[in-house]
Every structure is written in structure tokens, then in C-alpha cells.
Structure 1
């Protein structure tokens, strides 16, 4: 019978605002719940730190890391990153409020499908790299890219990167301070395992492993223990995915191995560079390759479907244990937390995994038994006395007393020297920098150091995440060794560095405005274009922030730039009346020009014969459309038919292009044309009246 465990937080109202309805997942630092924000009436994901992590001597460090996660993630505003809304403390409960993304994650998609098509793989990688590129531009490294942290939306097409809980500012992650490397070992870069150092290229390595897994259905390195996997990451290049799937294009296989190169210098510099390389490879692939996928590995069995009516948390996958394998870094001191089930470690592994009993060896303090100090008096006495006989009772006792006094002096002197050495140069001369001195005010940090017998000095520096007046970092850092009479250098935040928006941006050319923003240490975002009949193309019309305004240095300033007159399509005006055609074109924003009228036998006078540009042409407002208007039929000579017979006169006028109207008197008894009207000239096609009698 299954054991049912009741979560005490289910149904609880956190901070008087967030009502927890169900549990989503549980990780190494926190549990994620689905909650309802009563204030804004929306569903959110509530990440609650495990209470036991805030206890003990390291509790302050865990709380500091949890808060740092909130600040790091809140700095990222990207559609591919799970947004952080809020962070707070309710009693002993530290929590984050994040965007709730209904759907699944990439791990479940891989469990269900085994492998993904090339096109789907590149789509997922593109969105993951886009999110990482945004983080890298902010100086943040994710450090835990893996399928569990790639959320797939309900519609199943788009993904979001979650859990920047291991992220740090690049300047804070050059080495670890706790002696362990946080991250899932299957996706860890060699430099993280060997030295603890990482940068944006560390995330690119994890993306390369992720690409290999999606294409082939397996991981590039495998082993019975995390140590064996870590050893392979450090000493072996990942195999080309084309070795498992020979049909994969060479450029795609090379991209994966370049992302996951052991030497950081061979990888793309950051997520943005990796995304550019990915897009170039995708553009070179044929549609039939994008639609193809590898067969799932041998033994692959899709998971059984969840029974109808079962809650999401009832399924085997619902609560993915977000395991963070703690791998000791190079030169870490102390035994492994648990015995490693490997009888013969691989060559070189002892360089970064010390022997288990390395710190349990005891150095002998006494090599020889203590002997009595012999004096001349005692020597002579001993020589005179037979073996086993007692010395004479009358011998003097002061030599023995003197020996005891000298021994006591030597003992006390040695003890004093030992104590002096212990507290001056030995273990007693050193202490550990206490936790909890970061993310607090300078006075609070100084008080904590004072209680531990340490002094401090402080400098100030701008920081985008730590509030003004709070400690940004300490040197030596929390947990590091320092002499008992030593000093800790504290860096105190001046808050966000503010800069001034330059004046004169409006009315300048876009390139000049962007150069002025760069000189002011501000970033110009993608320009917004607007059409304008009055502002020339490329000229700045508006700026998102007022001139001379004081803004954070990370502010992205958006320029509104003129695109010139708006596009417009020339409409058909041929055959229309002059005035109507002109009004219609002017309503569309065009200027209208007329040529000299032309005679036309087909187009009535006053109507448009032709236009330039022609109908359907794409133009812009304020462009000129030229119209040619008909002046009517041409004026020609009227033949003189007076005196001609009726038939001959009619034929002559008709051939000349006129209509004939015949009027007969007395029945036209003589059949001779006596009069015609008009005479001289007349419009071609007009009617000529002839009188016959």
C-alpha cells in the first residue's frame, strides 16, 4: 500500500497573498508550488526554500544564495526566461514568486519520444540560446542548463529556461568558495569540474551536451558513478553524434562537438555567438533533413500514460528531483562525503579527489622513551653501589630537586612556546570569515566581523542588484581562512550607477543618436519606425526617455525614427473625370500633375486618358502622379460635297470620319446636294447635315 505524505504548505496562505494549491516539483534548494496570487488574481509558481537550509552555521549563506537567485533572475526580461515577480520572507519561509508556465519539460519530452527531429532539436536549441544570450549580455551565467530546466509550454512548441538558482554574476563565479561545484554532472564543463571556474562558455558546453542527447537519445559520457562521468568530461572529447547516426549532416555534427569542446577557447564566446552559428547551420539544411529523426536507443520504452483523473503530482515524473551533484573541486581538502564504489580509480583522479583518509593520519609525538638525566654525583654513586642495592640514606637530596625544577622549567617553557606557536603561526592563529556579511548593511557586517575578532575596511562600488549601503562582496570571502587579528575588505554598494540621457537626440540622424547614447554609456534598443510626411527618412522623431533624465546605466533607450512618407498604392484613374481623379489621388496623399490635354477619338473630353505611374504601382505618400486628360475628338477639314449626288456626298463624308444627316426637299427630286452644315472644319466623328433637292 502506497504511503501518503501530506505537505504542510498545501492550502496555506503565504505572506497573506499567495494561496498554495498544489506541488509542482522539488529540487535541491527549494520546492516549487502552484499558487494563486489573490491580489492580482493570477496563477504563479511559488518557490519555497527548504527550511533546514536556513539553519546552522551555513544558513545565512543559503539564504544569501536564495536572495541572489531572485535578483539575478529578476534582471532578465526575455520571453525565453521564466520571469521572477517577487521575493519575500514569511516567518521562517523564504520564497520567490515566479511566472507559472503550464506544460511539461524537455526531460519528459525526451522520455516520451526517445529522440527529437533535427528541426525540433534546432528549434529548442535556438530558444534556449536566445535566453542564455540575454543572460550573458547581463553578465550572468546559468551554470545548470539541462532538460529539467527547459520548460515546454502547453502548446508544445516554445520553451522557457528556468531555475537561474545557480546563476552568479560573472565576476562572482571564477571559483567556488564552498569546495563543491554545483550543477548536474552530466552537463558540467571540464573547467568547472577541474577548477571551479566558469563563464558564458560553460553554458554553451551544456547546450552542446543537450544537443547530443536530443539528436541521439543518449548522453555523450556515461558511467556508474558521477565521478566516472566527471572524469570523462575532463579527459575525453565528446564523440561526434555522426558516429551514432551517420546520416547526420557533417556541419550539424561539427556544431555539436564545437559547442561541447573540452577547451573553452574552441567554443563560441557566449550564447549570442552560439545562436549565430546555429542559425547558419540550420539555413544550410534541407527540409527533409530537418524532418528526420534518429531511432530511439535500444531498450527505449515510452512511459505509461497517466490514468485519467490522476493529478499531475501522482505521476512518476511529476516531482523531478532536481539533483545537484556535489563534486569536490581540484585541490579540495578532506575526504569524500561517501565511499566511492570504484576499486581502482582512473589515472589522475587523485589529483582532484584526495585519498579518503588523507586528513586522519596522526604524526607520532614521541619517538624514544624518556630517560633520566645523569649527573656526575649520581654516576659515582651508582658505580659504588652494587646492583639492586638502595643508595645510602645520607645522600644529599638537592640534585633530585634541581632535576625536577629543571624538568618543570623545560616543560613550562615548551608549553609556553607551543602555546605561542599555536596562536601565532599554528592553527590557533587562523579563523574563518563568518557567513552573513554579504547583502547586509556595512554596520551589520562590521558588527558580525567584530564579534569574531576581525577588523574590516571598506570601499564603494556601483552594483546593479545589491541595494545602496549593503555589502556586495568580501575579501577574503565568506568561509575563507583569515588570521584572527586579520582584516576583511568589504565592497559596499553605491546602488545602481545612474547616467544622463543626452540632449539633442530628437532631430538628429539615427546613427548620430546611437553614437551619442553609446558615449553616454547607454544602450540603444531596436529602433521603432514611424511614417512621416514631414520628417526626413532616418531622422529621430522621439526618444523613450526624456533628455537630461537620470536613468540606470543598464537602461535600454528606444529611438523612434522616421521612415519617411508612408507606402501607398496608386489606384486606377483612367476614364475618370479630371476633378474626380485628382481628388481621389490627393486623398491617398499623392501630389497630382497634368500634362497638356490630348485629342482622343475614344475618350470623351475631360476624362483621363492615361496616368503615370500606372494602377497598382507601390509608391509613397507625397509622390507625384501625372494625368493626361482628353480634349475630345481631333478637329479635321469637312469635305465640300455641295453639287454632289446624294450617294457620292454621303460616301465622301463618311470616309472623312463624319456622320451624315440627309434632309430632302420635294422628295429630293433632282438628287443634288444644295447645302451642307458645317463647312470648313469640325470634330472628327461629328455629324454633317446635307440638304438635297
Structure 2
């Protein structure tokens, strides 16, 4: 929180911790960002409000609980470094403080305010570290007693830490009642037994954790009311409903809906009877992790798992039961699953699926082709029979006759062979051309988009260029990818695209952050416009009376000016309502002490003056200025207090005539009546005596009785 004025800013506690600025303010304490001047590190200092250190028993319990919390060493617990108390003003009373690890980031309350309702899987992921911290505390017999979103811190690096271990116990001891300490701001998470019996054990933290789980899943609290006491009454007398009953989605149609076993888990953790809850955070964590495993596996409804969530005794501290086996739809106990995603395109044969062998009847016949013609010598011509009785000329030798024929035959054979080779080459070339064309059309001209997510711009250009692709870049914000690295591509990595196609790559600009403008001291409308121009939003607006700041002016902001936050972050504002009016009543005739007390309790200043009065008794208010009407805290009211009537000496009128004596006494401010002297009345009309006695003092305006002779 940022305040217009805080007397502790700049103060050094115990000569070591220099208060730099106010970070947050709660019902019992204020948290400051401070510098440990000895170790030169930033720490968080929680200083209790005024009046919290006046009880020595509270100081002892505060120190004991702080030391117990300091013994916790766990990555999900905010470390406690030091504790003490110091005289922070001139009243003579010390104010306790505790020095803790400073966690730069936000709180789970901010996440709920911004994003709730959250998906079940994200909810369980965020809350599992919280249970780890509580389980560590429960193992050391330490109960938190104030589990709520405000006490769950999320660092800028995403680490979840739980704060304020043991402080709720010390604070509740100071209030003398079990509920006084929690009615300030945590009634939405208070377990029933703490209200009814004033006692709490590890199961109280389980109940409060269940309320936080309900709020994250639904975006609302299970019990609400116009006053804290209505909420406390609901915790004691009403069961927490199933989270799915207050949401609009169904697990039958959406994986982001709340499954039945998670409903039962919430209701078991929030059972009004502590004996029905998990006995500590370790058992609850085993239940939560099994629910998360079921969500990851796609199990949206399993009767066996739902039944186990209603019986915490079936879980142990160290066992996390496996995800239920997915039965076939024909099984009567089969868990209900959402429809699986559509199957991908079939894998071509030879890339992962067996090819069915053709049946013998469908096998092709093999044709044997002639590959070579072997020349065969022609048969030698037969020698004709010599006619008898005639002499014939001798035949030419065989070589001379057959050589021309042989050469002619060899020439034709070589020609046929050349034609066969040419034809074979043409057929082979044609087959190669068809095969290459088919390959080119089917896959040769295609390439795959390389996986470049997380790579730099230069590396992407080099890798995409190797795949004969072009790349175009644009920038966008990212909470997870470092600046300059690729967030995603279009088409997605692995997608088939034509060579030469262009790939769109989105480069990270880093987390989108916007500075919070200074709004303290500006009007409510000016603050809204400033936050809107900074792409932020106005969160919860709280109006408070303020004696110095005019009405409508912002006195505090939920996020300090200049801090870098995400787009759309809601900034809570505290706006002044101006001076608080006081209805002034008429205190005339009342005892002055009671009138002054009533006026001071109403916030008014009282001035008193005194005067004598014949009619108003001493010590009572004779006059009030102003008399009645509407005033404001700090205004002055003047009371005129009666001193009673003035005392006057009774003149000595003995032996005077009744008429002269009467005038003398009336001139002195008295009332006069006469009476005869008993047993000695002569009727002369002279004063013999008086009551009160003559020459004595009597209140002015009182009645003097003259006794005549």
C-alpha cells in the first residue's frame, strides 16, 4: 500500500532495519519494505498496530510463536529472520515487529481477483506448494490458524510461499476471545471449532485451505453476509456446497469443469465436523495429488476415486495412490472419459504400420522378358546328290559360300541388339521420370517446418533457410519466453509446406509490464483515467473518513506507484469520504463530566467555563454552544458549568419594622416571608429573629423567614 504519510518511513528499528516504504496494511499489522543495514539486504518488516504491545503476556507469546516459525526451513515457507519490539513513539509502550524474507511478486488474492474461476488443473498446481508448506509446519506441531489467499505469496519467478506462520496464535491470545482475532478480516476462512470452542489443531488449517480451494475453483466464497457475524454463523451452521453447483460448466462437456471427485475433496476438507476432515496437510496433499493425476490422465469421473475422497482415512502421509485404471466402456464401473481427440491422418505404409500381404489369388504373374538374343549359325546347305552317270563341277569351298551369309546375319543381329538396348534405356528413362515426378509431386517439393521455438532470430533465419523456406517475423508479449526468442510459428513445427513458402515466427518481447501511475492525492475520476491510460484497471474502491483529505481524493493505492505490473492488473483504491460528521445532542442540565465524556467519545473537542446559577445545581451544564446540529470530528463544543448560586450575607434587620426589613432583604437578593413569634406575639410588627439567621450567609435568591413580635 502507498500512503500519503507514514511516521515509520525512514525510522530505523533497533538501529538495524531502516524502513523504506509501506508495502501492505492489514487488520493487525502493517508490512514495510526495509533495508537490513547490517547484511545489506532487502527484508520485509511486519509491525503490529498500536496497542498490541501493551500486554506483557502477549509479548511473550508473540516472541515464542515467532521463534517457532523461524525454525521452519522449507522452500515454500517465508523465512523469519528476526523479531523484537521497540519504543516507536512517546507513549512509553513498545510495538512488536517481526523481520521476514521479502518476496517480490504478488499474492494469491491478486490471482483470484484477476483470473478466478481458475481451471481445476491450474488450481491444484498452484495449491500443491501451499500444502507442502503446511505439511512441514504440521510436522513440527505448528498450526498456521490464518490460511487465506492474502498469506500466499507468488514471487516474480513463480515460486509459491506461505507467510505468517504462528502469528495468528499470538494475536488471538491478545484478544482474549477465540473469534475476536479472526473477525477483523478472515471470517471467510475461519473453521467452526475455532468459533465454538476457541481451539484449533492441524484440521483447522485443512478447513481454511478447503475454503481457498473452493474460492479458486468458483471465483466466490462459500459463505457471505452483510456482517462478519453472519459469515461466522454460516460457517458453524451450514455445510460448504459442492463447487460445481455454483458454476455453469459440466465435466461431461468440458475438461476445464470440476469433476465429481474434486467436489467431494472440497467438501471433505470443509466438513464442519473436524473428525471427518483429513487429519493434517500431508494427508490432504496425498488426496490433492491423486486428484491432479486423475485430471492429467483425462479421468473426469470415477466412482472409486470419488468414494475415496470422502474417506480421508484411506490415505497415508507418504502414499499418493496411482491414477485409477481406465476401464473399457463395457465395464459397469468404468470411469467416464471425455471423447478422445480425433485421430491423426493415417500413417503411410512403411512409416509405422504393417502392409497387408496380398492374397495368393491377387498376386501378379511374373513375365519373363528376353534380355539378350544369342545368334545361332545357320545350318550348312546340304550337298546335292550327284546324278548318276553325269559329271558335275566341283562345289565351292564352304567358307566362301557361308561367309557373306554369316556377315549379313551378324549385322542384323547387332542392329536388333542396339534397338533393344535403346528401347530398354528409353523404358528405364521413362520409368525413372515417372518415379521422380511421382516423388516430386508427393514429397520432393514439400518440406517440414523446423522446430525453432525458443531460438534467436539469427538462428531461425539460418535453420529455415536450410529448409528452402522464407521467414517473416513479428513481435508479441510473453510471460515465459525470454525476449528475442521465438514463441511460436505458423504453420506449427513439423507441418508440411511447399519449398519456398513463408513461415511466420513470433518473437518474444518479454513479459508485458506497465508502470503504475501515481494516483495518491488525485481525485477518484482522475485516478481511474490514469489507470485506464496505463492499460490497468480499477480494483476494489474503499471509502474511508479522513480528517485531512477532502472527499473524493485517493489516499492509498493497492500497488505502489512506478511498479511494473501486467496489462489489466486491478489496482485497489482507498478514497476519502471527507471529515466524518457527528450529530450533536443537547447536554444542558446533564452533569458536566458525563457530557464532556460523551462529546469526546464522538470525536469532538470540549472546552468548559463556569458561572453561578440560581436554578442549575453545581456541576451541571448551564449552557452548551453550539446547542445542537451536525458537526465534524475535531470541532470544539463549549460547555458552561454551574457553580451553584452565589452566597450572600443576610442583612441584620432585627428590631426593624416589617416593611423596612422586607425591602432591605429583597435589595440583597432574597425572597421574604413573615411569621409571628410563637407564645410572644404582641402584634407590633417588628423583627425579632430570622431563618436563616441574621448576619449569616445564604444562597442568593433563597427565602428568608422573618419572625415578628
TM-score (norm 1): 0.44
Bigger Rg over Cα: 2
TM-score (norm 2): 0.43
